[in-house]
Amino acid sequence: MTEAEIKQYIQIRYPRENESCDWKEFSNLKHVVKGHAGEDIASYCSAFSNMEGGNLVMGVKDGSLNISGIQNFGGYTQDSLKARLVKECINLPSEGLDLLELEASDTHKIVWILTIPKHYTRRPVYVHGQAWQRIGDDLVKIRDERYNKIINEIEVPYDWSAEIIESANIKDLDPIAIAKARKQFAIRNPKKVEELDGWDDITFLNKAKLTIQGKITRTALILLGKEESEYLLSPFVAKIRWCLKDKDNQNKDYEIFTIPFILAVDEFRTKVRNVKYHMVRSDSMFPDEMMRYDIFNLREPLHNCIAHQDYTKCARIEVVEIEDDRLIFQNHGQFLPESVESVVRKDCPESIYRNRFLTDAMRNLNMIETEGGGIKKMFNKQRDRLFPMPEYDLSDEKVKVTIIGRVIDEAFAQILIANKELDLMQIMLLDKVQKHKGLTHEEAKYLRSRYFIEGRKPNYILSANVVKPTKNRRLKTTYIHNKAFDNNHYRSLILQYLEKFGQATREDVDDLLWDKLPAYLDEDTKKKKAKITNLLSSLRIENKIAFKDGHWFKC
């Protein structure tokens, strides 16, 4: 964006100063984060949060909106500024506190837009020993009526998705999306089909819990809103970005989908390369032919992203497709259940939701499971196809789900065929072994107690007890290659080499052992080098070999 485009962007999204917006030049942040009470950034955080939340635009001139830019950041980064504000402002929520940076491509002036979330119920936000509020565009100490309203608010979790957009009306919703919503509602609620035909659109939207007393909510706009009405969600973002990459991680294609999401998810599915996949099974003379991705496992992760996205982060939902390999779905916001394992283990829906209003609406429109269990169903779908289990990465306050669309280890697939009594939790642990993921002490102990694995931490392999029932000859050969030899065998080879040739460089020892190490280390050079280093060190500590002038010798 150029400087002129940034100014235009601010004029469109933050057109006036009021109880939810302020413009500040703040060219030097060094003394204005927590400086003079009532004039610093922390005071604005208190005031906006004690109202309904708001935005502080920094780096623009008050009144004219000319871009002055932040010239001295005082050592602050976007993350460190947010952390400092949470520390200084008592009761300021960290979830929903976001900082957007806009840099002009022509003048390189930088504007920061701070999004401040609403306070927690019954907990005013304090700074400088005082709670602040907004009256019009003025920043003042909180008044009794506002304070009393905050502390007497009903104790219910804040639901961003249930907020009403006062400036929106039914004309901002897409008629095609509404028609699709009606069809999906009928599928989910077959007993109401006859009534449905007699409902006008407003009645239907209320019944489906998309609107509140005919008023347009953020949920209604996200699921059914016209693309040109997207600005009504500003400054929040409701977009899905799909990107196709080849196996070398080079971009091949991409597309960005916007509202209405009830139509966008179908458009997304047409972009995915869900081609036919062939796999020969040992229990059949003929190959299985199926689509690379189960349709449910295309739909459920994306719908989960939509339902559980933290829209206050002002970020897109991301889907990356690695061609002929896997799909990676990512949404912003912490994973609220106890753990993925606990969700898979339970047969009941979760009781905690980030966007409960949105989630209920999606359930009514047949977009997510009625009684929960969608995540567990994804795992079962992968098991039925003999594919690896879904992978969850919950780091960095995001949820990243990977669905692999192929067999990565024939041994794992054959084990699933031959050991049909394995439950889902056991399969999830065995899946970690096939992917060479670390096992906890308790997980390893559990698998050992059932003779499912062998080897030493962290290089576990599937045990002969699991492999034995299979009829696949190559699998049993692979087991022997993976098991390889114990350390004494490798140490003996080193000593025999030194006895015969007198000395050896590290390169000589690597050449001696490299092809004899377990097969699962073939693609991990670091682990191979580390194992050989440990073997040499153990022999040196026992005074069986010594190192001098770049060579190893036998003592």
Q: What is the pLDDT of residues 319-343, one digit of tens each?
A: 999 999 999 999 998 887 667 777 7
CA-closest candidate to residue 452, choices 486, 485, 425, 490: 425
Q: Read off φ and ψ for residue 546, nearest 5 degrees.
A: -140, 160
Evaluate whether 529 touches 491 at the Cβ level (below 8 Å): no
Split at pLDDT 50, 70, 90, the class of 475 is very low
- Predicted confidence at residue 480, as pLDDT, reads 46
Domains of the chain: 3-156 (3.30.950), 242-352+367-389 (no CATH), 410-483 (no CATH), 487-554 (1.10.10.10)
- Predicted confidence at residue 64, as pLDDT, reads 86
Q: What is the pLDDT of residues 48-64, one digit of tens each?
A: 999 989 999 999 998 88
| Torsion on CA atoms 226, 230, 232, 238, rounded to nearest 10 | 120
Q: How many CA atoms lie within 13 A of 289 on its CB side?
A: 3
Q: What CA–CA distances, in Å, run from 229 to 116, 220, 253, 399, 401?
A: 23, 11, 27, 28, 30
Provide the phi-psi class of 278: left if phi over 0, else alpha when psi is between -120 and 50, else beta. beta
Portion of the chain with pLDDT greater than 90, in percent: 55
Name the CA radius of gyration of the chain, rounded: 30
Buried b / exposed e across 116-154, counting CB within 10 Å, b at 16+? bbbbbeebbbbbbeebbbbeeeebebbeeebeeebeeee
Q: d(Cα 233, Cα 123) in Å, to the nearest integer? A: 26
End-to-end CA distance of the chain, in Å? 70
Q: Is the pLDDT of residue 25 over 90?
A: yes
The H-or-E segment that residue 219 falls in is helix 218-224
Q: What is the pLDDT of residues 352-408, one digit of tens each?
A: 678 999 999 999 999 987 555 788 899 999 998 889 999 999 888 899 999 999 988
Split at pLDDT 50, 70, 90, the class of 468 is low
Residues in CB range of 337: below 8 A, 6 or more apart: 343, 350, 352
235 upstream amide cis, omega within 30 of 0? yes
Q: Is the pLDDT of residue 486 over 70?
A: no
Split at pLDDT 50, 70, 90, the class of 500 is confident
Evaluate whether 310 touches 96 at the Cβ level (below 8 Å): yes
Split at pLDDT 50, 70, 90, the class of 281 is low
Query: What 3 state SS string does 255-319 have?
Result: EEEECCHHHHHHHHHHHCCCCEEEEECCCCCCEEEEECCCHHHHHHHHHHHHHHCCHHHCCCEEE
CA-closest candidate to residue 51, choices 164, 167, 159, 140: 140
